[in-house]
Every structure is written in structure tokens, then in C-alpha cells.
Amino acid sequence: MLKTNIRWMLLGTGLIVLVLLVVAACGRFGGLYHIEPKAMDEFAGSSKIPLDVALVLDSQLCNYIYVSKRQHAKRVFELGETLCTNMKDMCTSLFRTVTVVSKKDEGLTGNVDAVIIPKVIDTSALVRPGAPPDFEATMIYECTMIDPNDHPIFVRTVKENKVLETYSKNSWGTVMQTTVDAVFSSLGNEVVGSPEIRKYVNKMN
């Protein structure tokens, strides 16, 4: 009888600890995560697209912050600075010249072949509890290239969804960093392989 009770006592204590750990993993604790820029050297080898472009980096994008709230815990992801740095570095690697402007009109009136307008459509971070819990981050990022007459040349909406199945101190930050890095890898590859940009280049020349 005593042995049975000790077993229940141990099981109960173990479960209390486990529940507390899982609840913690569910995300009771908030945090501030600064997402770092990505090295754009993967596009360094490719020949530059012979276009002079204006890149619109507005304050909305460069100050972009995503806040995720769950069970009163706030997680703040500082993304804007990195989104602008990555975009600028990527365009510099891919195009002949890049002029950074803060408004679309400034780009259209400038002496450029095309204007590039990036935009965050949505960001999401959530946890799917389990053992170990799944930390999931999603980013949807739209990139539009227009000609000086404001007609679209190229539009891509890149969607990246990454899952991290490990619980650590910085799981949220790690999964968001992986997602943002993947967004720019995908977008860069889309630009490099774009038949519509190639067609536009041929038309320009």
C-alpha cells in the first residue's frame, strides 16, 4: 500500500514538473528578438542584371516590428532594419546599380530602368506544444518591380514557413531568423531566374 502511494506521489510530482515545463514551453515568458541581416554572398557569383534600379525602402518596412502575444507574454521581433539591409544587399548583388529611395514616386521620377518595391504581407510566430514543442514562424513578403510608367514587370510573393522542434532559450529567435534568411534566399533566386525580368532586359537593350 505504502509502495503504491509512493509511486503515485512520485508520478504526481513528476507530472507537476512536466506540466510546468510544458506550460513554460507553451510560451509564458516573453522576450525581445533582434533578427540579424543575412550575408548575401550566395548571389555574388551570378552576373549582374544590366538594369539601374531604384529600391523603395520606406520607414514602414525599415521600422517593422512583429509582436506576438500569447497568454499575456509578449514576444517582440525587431525585423525592419534587417529586412531593409537584406533587401539593399540583395539588390546590390543582383543589379547593375541600386539607388535607395524612400517613396515610390521618387523612384519613378529618377533616371532608372525599374523601381523595386518590397512589402511585408504578414508575419506569424506560434508554438504547437508537444514533446518537444514545435516553434513555427511564417513570413510572407511581396516584391514588385515596375517600369518607369508604373506598369508591373515582376511580382513575387515569397512565403516561408519554418519549424524548430527544439526547446531552447532562443527558440523563437532562431526560428524567426531561419525564416527571414529563407525569405531572402528564395526571393534572390526568384529574381535571378525570372523570365519576366530577362524579357524586360532584352526589351530595354
Partner 1 sequence: MRTENDHVWGGPFFKPLSILMSLVLLVACTTTKPAVIDSELAYQSGSEQQKEGLRIYIRPLGNKKEIKKYFGADLLAKNILPIFVLIENKSESTFFLFEPAGADKWVENEAGATTGKSGTEGSTYISAEDAKKSVYEKSGKVFGLDLGPPPAFWLVAIPFDMLDADAGPTDASKSLQQALITQALRKQTLTPGKTEKGFIYYQIPEDVSSINTFGINLKATNIETQDEIYFRFTKTMDQEGQNVKN
CB atoms inside a 10 Å sphere around CB 67: 11
Q: Which stretch binds partner 1 (CB under 8 A): 41-49, 77-85, 150-158, 178-186?
A: 150-158
Q: Is 78 helix (H, G, I), strand (E, B) or coil?
A: strand
Between residues 36 and 122, which has the closer beta carbon with respect to partner 1?
122
Q: Which of residues 32-91 bind partner 1 (CB under 8 A)?
A: 68-74
Of the candidate residues 40, 136, 179, 184, the single one contacting partner 1 (CB under 8 A): 136
Among 92, 99, 124, 186, which residue interacts with partner 1 (rule: CB under 8 A)?
124
Nearer to partner 1, 68 or 86 (CB): 68
> How many C-alpha atoms does 153 have within 13 Å on its Cβ side?
25
Compute the least distance from the CB of residue 44 to partner 1, in Å: 26
- Tell me whether residue 48 or residue 198 sits nearer to partner 1 (CB atom): 198
Residue pair 61/82 in contact (Cβ under 8 Å)? The answer is: no
Q: How do strand 65-70 and strand 95-101 relate by DSSP bridges?
A: unpaired
Determine the interface stretch with partner 1 among 34-42, 47-55, 88-96, 129-137 (rule: CB under 8 A): 129-137
List helix spans (H) across the chain.
2-26, 59-62, 80-94, 104-109, 171-192, 195-204
Closest by CA position to 63, among listed 47, 49, 79: 79
104 touches partner 1 by CB under 8 A: no
